[in-house]
Amino acid sequence: MGAALAALAEPAVLGRSLDLLLAGSAEAPRWVALCAALIAVEVALDALVALLTGATNARSTAWLRHRAVGHLLATSPHRAAARFAPGDLATRLTANATEAGTVPATAAGALATVLPPLGGLVALLLIDLWTAAAFLAGVPLLVLLLRAFARTSSGAVSRYQRVQSGMADRLVEALSGARTIAAAGTAAREQRRVLATLPELAAEGRTMWLVYGRAVARSGVLMPLLVTVVLAVGGVRLASGALGVGELVAASRYAALAAGVGSVAAALGGLVRGRAAARRTGELLALPVVPHGREALPAGGTGALELRGVTVVRDGAAVLHGVDLRVPGGATAAVVGRSGAGKSLLAAVAGRLVDPDEGLVLLDGVPLDRVEPGQLRREVGYAFSRPALFGTTVGASIAFGADPAPVDAVRSAARAAGADAFVVRLPDGYDTPLADAPLSGGELQRLGLARAFAHAGRLLILDDAMSGLDTVTQRQVERALAHDVRPGTRLVVAHRLSSAVRADLVVWLEGGRVRAVGPHRTLWRDPAYRAVFASAGAEDA
């Protein structure tokens, strides 16, 4: 704003200084000094604007990313993953957030860009109506040009960002399967797949910049033409004596300022791109946040788990149908069934990683959606078939949680999960950086189990978390789970017969429904139950 005001004052002061110099007035030196001061102030303010613009863009982008990531992590992980692919999410949180973060500074810059032209036009009207009328004659053409630019570029920018996001998603997918691609010898094919939409991206990019280039070129021709017309009219007025030399100089400078309205195309282009990016990033904020209550679980609870009429719908079809289930506190329940029966989804519902579309899930008699979130995550532990490790070191990855586990609990949990033996052989033991600790699938699973054991509460859910262990190690882990880990209810998604044999009861799922619940020895009489393990290749017990 200050730079715009300085720019508006400069032509008037310059014109006044010129008139005084031509007249030989004693006041001329003072006006010349004032003119020099205005120029210095304008330069300093322009530098300050550049600095503030960079700082504002950085802070806006950081705020937007923090808010989007926080909101994303507060939603149901299953629903967020179903709606946004990993590459798409990465693009929205990086490139799109960066461009969206420029909107506040760009909007302020656009306002500052408009002020000098408007002020210049008002000054022209005050100096001489005829010169102002000459300039105003071309303004309708400029308005039409900017309107067409905004309408056309908006669609091109949105399409470009969408194609860019799809390419990023395919790249993330390829990188996650790099070993498979290398083993299959399909690197060239994957390269073509990842870059398949590159011609479309290039076409949309060319369209976007062609629209912008045309707008800038047309305004670049129109604005100098208007300035020339103003100077011609001003020259005629000077010859007739209606304008002085200083007034003509001021009028020419204000006409140049008014012509700066053509540069609005650049600011408008930045706003269009920023708003399109903001819409994409803003879609993350539209995801529903998982609501939590403030109730506490009863003291001394044993982890009794109950599902009442639980139904989960995906893409319009029920994946779990009216599940009724009760697991007594302290019992171990094995969840079995063919692939696609809904075992992992049941495990996710049981610990509130997914909310059911219908029905209730209760822990020690309290609905999970009413439990205070901190206590819920302290009392419900998870281990997964492919755990993700967080933390700088191996020990920190086991301690990872809302309340980091102490060192003694980390070591005890690692021993229970059968991980201590290989961890102590690492270069720095538990202090070995994760990046320097190459892990097999079984070792990764044991660290995931150790993390779950270190944070075990009244309910521990193992979602196929021992599938990568050999039979001997699995039995060692199961014995440790029974004797060395905090007592509580266990819900074990199992494919191996041995897990079902050792469980207190078995939950048999079929087609998203509970077909039967009971001891393994009772269910084993049913040939269809035996076929579940035969089809899974689990007769290893």
* 3-state secondary structure string across 365-424: CEEHHHECHHHHHHHEEEEECCCCCCCCEHHHHHHCCCCCCCHHHHHHHHHHCCCHHHHC
% of the chain beyond a pLDDT of 90: 29
| Selected residue with higher pLDDT from 101 and 516 | 516
Per-residue confidence (pLDDT) for residue 518, from 0 to 100: 94
Per-residue confidence (pLDDT) for residue 391, from 0 to 100: 87
Neighbours of 88 (CB within 10 A): 20
Task: Record the pTM.
Answer: 0.70
- d(CA 150, CA 461) in angstroms, rounded, equals 54
DSSP string, 318-349: EEEEEEEEEE-TT-EEEEE-STTSSHHHHHHH
- Range in 210-219, 258-267, 396-405, 514-523 with the lowest mean pLDDT: 258-267
Read off the pLDDT of each residue in 91-116 and give the average, rounded to a whole number. 78
Read off the pLDDT of each residue in 384-389 and give the average, rounded to a whole number. 88
Read off the pLDDT of each residue in 36-48 and give the average, rounded to a whole number. 74
* CA proximity to 280, closest of 93, 139, 460: 93
| Selected residue with higher pLDDT from 251 and 88 | 88
The residue ranges of every structural domain in the chain are: 2-285, 305-535
Check pLDDT > 80 for residue 312: yes
* CA proximity to 379, closest of 355, 412, 354, 351: 351
| Selected residue with higher pLDDT from 467 and 358 | 358
CATH superfamily of 305-535: P-loop containing nucleotide triphosphate hydrolases (3.40.50.300)
- pLDDT classification of 6: cutoffs 50, 70, 90: low
Cβ–Cβ under 8 Å, residues 96 and 275: no
Per-residue confidence (pLDDT) for residue 541, from 0 to 100: 37
- pLDDT classification of 539: cutoffs 50, 70, 90: very low
* Tens digits of residue pLDDT in 140-151: 766 676 666 666
Per-residue confidence (pLDDT) for residue 148, from 0 to 100: 67
* Tens digits of residue pLDDT in 167-200: 888 888 887 777 778 777 888 888 888 888 888 8
- pLDDT classification of 474: cutoffs 50, 70, 90: confident
* Tens digits of residue pLDDT in 419-456: 999 999 999 999 999 888 888 888 899 999 999 999 88
CATH code of domain 2-285: 1.20.1560.10
* Tens digits of residue pLDDT in 495-508: 888 889 989 999 99
Calculate the average pLDDT of the chain: 82
Contacts of 419 (CB under 8 A, 6+ apart): 398, 443, 446, 447, 449, 450
Contacts of 382 (CB under 8 A, 6+ apart): 351, 353, 452, 460, 461, 462, 463
* Tens digits of residue pLDDT in 264-282: 666 666 777 788 888 888 8
